[in-house]
Amino acid sequence: MQCAARGLFIVTKLDAVNIIMELPGSFNSTGLVVSSNLPRYSDLYTLRIASADPKSVSAKEPVEFTKSVTGWFTKDGILVEGLFWKDVEGLISKYTGESRKNK
């Protein structure tokens, strides 16, 4: 399925949703595959970023994190979205090789 946004594809699998997208301002990138997984009856969430074409010369090594989702919620069960996005931005910085201190 292709979305209205240029270069954005969503691929669904039985156990994960993969989002393929281009890096903004990048003309030599093959795009990214962002996949996530939260197994049934588990609190461990995995987010992975990889190149859409791992054989390309512009491809970078894939990165991922696996964390307990309990760290992103208050004791009342409310998602603290900023904590989640902080981890996502850290993963993006790790993939691109940028320092988060520059932002």
Print the domain residue range for 28: 8-96
Total domain count, the chain: 1
Residue 1 resides in a domain: no
CB 41 within 8 A of CB 34: no
Residue 63 resides in a domain: yes
Residue 103 resides in a domain: no
Report pTM.
Answer: 0.67
Residue 51 resides in a domain: yes
CB 66 within 8 A of CB 46: yes
pLDDT in tens, 6-58: 444 444 454 555 555 555 555 556 677 888 888 999 999 999 988 878 888 77
- Cα 98 from chain centroid (whole Å): 16
What confidence score (pLDDT) does residue 87 get?
92
Residue 2 resides in a domain: no
Residue 3 resides in a domain: no
**Is residue 70 left, alpha or beta, with left meaning phi > 0 and alpha meaning psi from -120 to 50?**
alpha
What confidence score (pLDDT) does residue 12 get?
47
